[in-house]
Structures are given as structure tokens and as C-alpha cells.
């Protein structure tokens, strides 16, 4: 980094003290890793977590994150987590025992005077989740966050589709049985890479003058970050202007739908997986209940996590996540990762045993 870049980073360092609330979740891990990769923009990365056994924590700590445990039923622990931070990302906190208190994380953020820039990771159609007890808190979190947006200089909601990375939980059946378990045959979903979402979220925090890449900079990713920072406000404006009226345009300026570039059903996903791996993978369509039992049998996910995934499977089964949106593509200025590309890139983890 050049001397001028170092000076600029030091001058704006406080702006980039960022806390990731829910670093023990997949999207939290992706966001934290994205920030840790760009320490010249983020002088301090704090990771708040609840599940002490999360496989993500060791990796984040080794990369230099400050790790801080918090409890949703302990407001003081959340206030400590936000202390002295200026940026924050709140992740879906419905994969734990106290999921019904998830909105307390937003409540604590609204009480933190140092916070100026916030992003909340929500779920697609969170406002329609009231019939799902473990997903209902996402609706409550969104409402509280939206009502408090005026407190912060900048605030955004990113509504997420299912993560491409969740296919990793199904790798054993693909490897051993050449079958892909899935909670529906016909209903569609638009899976999205949470690493792509994390890049978009970080982009919202980085301003053009903070990115001081040198003329001979060979780091393609850094050059991409500079380009994103330069035009992100224009891209957000373009997304907003797609709204039908002034009210919707205002809402679209602060709320984005994060999906992959393609909406596909179970058969199509299995076909994409087959092409990527070079061998036939059969779809094993099943009920959401059986899908949850399948995940439990694999023995890698906590029971509380599986309970929430079961309700997400019901959402997919009902076709509630079939929509695709180009918000992510517009923010990144490139096509997000596709299903087939995900399996190609991670083929060693999925290829069936000979």
C-alpha cells in the first residue's frame, strides 16, 4: 500500500471499525472474511457470535478478527459488542435456541451511539413469514430496523435467497449414493452465493476516496473494489428508479433482493450438478420433514439449525422463494455465481466415490 493510502486509511480508520453480528452463521462468516481480506479499508473487524462450536470461528480468529460472545437474552452483552463500532452487519439470528429474541440485536444497535452505517441481512419475503414460528423473527427484525433507519447515516436491508454454499451439507449423499436430497421436485428457487452477497455488502461501506490502489496494482480484486466503490451510489440509484412510484423508489433505495441469476427446480439443479461433476446425479425429492431428517442423519448441523432449515425447506416447497432479481448483479456489475459454476468450482467436495 502506498504512503498516501496508508495515511488515508488511518484518517478514516474509525469509519471502518465494523462488527459482524452473527459471525457463527454462514452469511456472517462470508461477510467477516470479506472484510478481513481488505484490512486497508477496515481497521478493526469484530465478530459477534452465539454458537461457541461453530466451525467458522477458528478460521475467523486466525485471520485477525476480534471474537466476542453475546446472548440474545442478555442486552448488556450486545451493547458491549456494538461499543465503539461505526459500521455493522446484522445476520439472520434464527438458527439458535433463542431465535424468538432475534430482534433484540436490532434494538441494541439502535441504542449504540457510535453506529453510523448498517446493513441487515434478512430473508426473501420476510414479511410473509408470520406462519413460520422460527422465521417470524426475521419479519420483526426488519420492521424494527426499517423504523429506526433514520438514526443511521446509511442503512440497507438485503433479503437473501437460499445459499449455494448450503449444497455442501448434501455432499455425502451425492458422493455415496449419487443422489441429491431436495424438498421439492417442481418448485423453483434462485440460489445465491453468500460470498457474492458479502462482496456487495462490503461495497456499500467502502467509499471511492478510501480505495487508494496504486497505478501498478496487479491485484484484480482490489481494482474491482475500487471500481465498485466509485459507482455504487449510481447503481443503487438505478435500482431505486426501477420502482413504480416515489414510495417504492424510496424503499428500493434501501432494500435489495439478493438472488442468483437463475431460478431452477429440483430436476434442473440435479442436472446442473451432473454436468459440473461429469456424472449422473439423481434428484431425490422428499418432503420438508424428510429433508430435515436427512440433514440430521448426516450429523454435521446442530439440532436448532436443522429446525430452522426445515421451515426454510417448507418455504421452498411452497414456491415462496421462486423469484429471481438482478439487484446483486447491478451492485456487483457482473453476473453472480451460477449453480453449475458452484459445483464446478467445488467439484472435489462432491464427486462420487469410484
The residue among 214, 234, 258 that closes a domain is 258
Please state which of the ranges 38-42, 59-63, 218-222, 307-311 shows the lowest mean pLDDT.
Answer: 218-222
CATH number at residue 277: 3.90.25.10
Beta bridge partners of 87: 18, 117
Higher local confidence (pLDDT), 95 or 12: 95
Whether pLDDT at 124 is above 50: yes
In a domain, 353, yes or no: no
Q: Residue 38 — very low, low, confident or very high, per pLDDT cuts 50/70/90?
A: confident
- Report whether pLDDT(216) > 60: no
Closest CA to 210 of 123, 95, 87: 87
Split into its structural domains, the chain has a count of 2
Residue 183 CB neighbour total at 10 angstroms: 25
Task: Report the percent of the chain where pLDDT is more than 70.
Answer: 82
- Same domain, yes or no, for 122 and 180? no
Q: Is residue 354 part of a domain?
A: no
Residue 2, pLDDT > 70, answer no
Domain boundary residue, one of 215, 240, 258? 258
- My answer on whether 136 and 277 are in the same domain is no
Question: For all residues of the chain together, what is the average pLDDT?
Answer: 86
Residue 328 lies inside a defined structural domain of this protein = no
Q: In terms of domains, do 135 and 26 share one?
A: yes
Tell me the pLDDT tens digit for each residue of 127-162: 999 999 999 999 999 999 999 999 998 899 999 999
Model pTM score: 0.87
Alpha helices in the chain (DSSP H): 3-11, 26-36, 57-62, 75-82, 104-111, 136-147, 171-177, 194-205, 220-241, 246-252, 266-277, 288-298, 303-317, 327-332, 339-345, 347-350
Task: Give the tens place of pLDDT for each residue, 171-201.
Answer: 999 999 999 999 999 999 999 999 999 999 9
How many CB atoms lie under 10 A from the CB of residue 64?
A: 10
Q: Which residue has the higher pLDDT, 242 or 312?
A: 312
pLDDT score recorded for residue 43 = 78
Domain boundary (234, 258, 282) is at 258
For the segment 328-336, the average pLDDT, to the nearest whole number, is 91
pLDDT of residue 241: 56
Q: Which domain holds residue 318?
A: 163-190+262-322+335-347
Residue 250 has pLDDT above 70, yes or no: no
Q: What is the pLDDT of residues 266-315, one digit of tens each?
A: 999 999 999 999 999 999 999 999 999 999 999 899 999 999 999 999 99
Work out the number of other CB atoms within 10 angstroms of the CB of residue 286.
19
Amino acid at each position: 500500500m502506498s504512503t498516501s493510502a496508508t495515511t488515508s486509511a488511518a484518517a478514516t480508520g474509525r469509519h471502518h471499525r465494523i462488527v459482524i453480528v452473527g459471525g457463527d452463521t454462514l452469511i456472517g462468516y462470508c461477510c467477516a472474511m470479506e472484510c478481513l481480506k481488505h484490512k486497508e479499508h477496515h481497521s478493526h473487524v469484530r465478530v459477534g457470535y452465539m454458537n461457541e462450536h461453530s466451525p467458522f470461528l477458528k478460521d475467523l480468529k486466525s485471520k485477525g478478527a476480534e471474537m466476542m460472545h453475546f446472548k440474545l437474552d442478555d442486552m448488556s452483552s450486545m451493547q458491549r459488542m456494538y461499543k465503539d463500532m461505526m459500521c455493522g452487519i446484522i445476520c439472520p439470528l434464527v438458527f439458535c435456541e433463542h431465535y424468538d429474541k432475534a430482534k433484540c440485536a436490532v434494538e441494541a444497535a439502535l441504542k449504540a451511539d457510535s453506529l453510523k452505517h448498517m446493513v441487515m441481512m434478512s430473508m426473501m419475503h420476510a414479511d410473509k413469514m408470520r406462519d413460520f414460528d422460527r422465521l417470524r423473527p426475521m419479519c420483526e427484525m426488519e420492521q424494527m430496523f426499517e423504523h429506526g433507519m433514520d438514526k443511521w447515516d446509511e442503512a440497507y436491508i438485503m433479503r437473501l435467497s437460499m445459499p449455494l454454499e448450503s449444497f455442501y451439507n448434501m455432499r455425502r449423499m451425492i458422493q455415496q449414493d449419487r443422489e441429491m436430497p431436495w424438498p421439492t421436485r417442481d418448485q423453483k428457487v434462485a440460489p445465491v452465493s453468500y460470498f457474492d452477497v458479502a462482496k456487495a455488502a462490503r461495497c456499500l461501506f467502502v467509499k471511492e476516496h478510501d480505495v487508494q490502489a496504486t497505478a501498478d496494482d496487479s491485484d484484480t480484486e482490489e481494482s474491482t473494489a475500487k471500481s465498485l466503490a466509485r459507482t455504487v451510489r449510481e447503481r443503487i440509484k438505478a435500482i431505486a428508479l426501477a420502482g413504480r412510484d416515489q414510495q417504492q423508489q424510496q424503499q428500493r433505495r434501501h432494500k435489495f433482493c439478493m438472488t442468483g441469476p437463475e431460478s431452477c427446480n429440483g430436476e434442473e439443479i440435479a442436472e446442473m450438478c451432473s454436468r459440473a461433476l461429469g456424472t449422473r446425479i439423481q434428484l431425490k425429492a422428499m418432503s420438508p420433514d424428510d429433508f430435515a431428517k436427512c440433514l440430521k442423519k448426516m450429523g454435521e448441523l446442530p439440532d436448532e439449525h436443522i429446525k430452522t432449515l426445515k421451515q426454510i425447506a417448507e418455504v421452498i416447497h411452497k414456491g415462496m422463494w421462486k423469484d429471481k432479481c438482478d439487484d446483486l448483479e447491478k451492485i456487483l456489475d457482473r453476473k453472480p455465481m451460477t449453480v453449475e459454476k458452484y459445483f464446478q468450482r467445488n467439484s472435489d467436495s462432491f464427486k462420487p466415490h469410484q
